[in-house]
Amino acid sequence: MGTWNTRGLRGSTLEDMINMSNESYREKGLALIQKIPTPITPVRIDQQTRHITLAYFDQQSTVDYIGAVQGIPVCFDAKECATDTFPMMNIHEHQVKFMKDFEKQGGVSFIILFYSHKNEMYYIPFCDIEKFYERSINGGRKSFRFDEIDKKYKIKSAPGILVHYLETINIDLESREE
């Protein structure tokens, strides 16, 4: 089982940017999205600083964020990638199942993927996640490449919103109507 300190600060900058964007969305009345904390059990605590230095995960987490956008339930995970190839092992079976069940209930599930080496962010709709996941468990490629994602889902910034993903949710919703 993985421990908390083996994960380092991976993804914290992306999550900070998303958290600030979510706060802007809330202030403007556009959306209410919350970060879901991963439940941990502390094993070792530095007595001087009172910081947790070692912990284990109590249970598998579902997704990083959940909430509503203009009455539409949304859930998503934030991921980072330093190359053009994203390994599917970074999206766990329980996460795919949760997102699939969420979609069945009328929600919108997706991943925000930050390609750090390109300094570009993309919204990966659940239908694509599911396609890549199914391919990986059925003997196909165990990753997806940058050239496989739909570039119309590139996430841009807006005044006061670093990760303006609401536009890409609209693109996703419009494509579902076609």
What pTM did the predictor assign?
0.82
Report pLDDT digits (tens) over 62-89.
Answer: 899 999 999 999 999 999 999 999 999 9
b/e map 148-163, b = 16+ CB within 10 Å: ebeeebebeeeeebbb
Average pLDDT of the chain to the nearest whole number: 88
Binding site, annotated residues for Mg(2+): 62, 64, 77, 95
Instruction: Give the mean model confidence (pLDDT) for residues 12-32.
Output: 93
Q: What is the pLDDT of residue 5?
A: 39
Domain 11-37+62-177 CATH class label: alpha beta
Which residue type occupies 57? F
Q: Kindly tell me if the per-residue pLDDT of 6 is higher than 90.
A: no
Parse the chain into domains and list their residue ranges.
11-37+62-177
Binding site, annotated residues: 62, 64, 77, 95
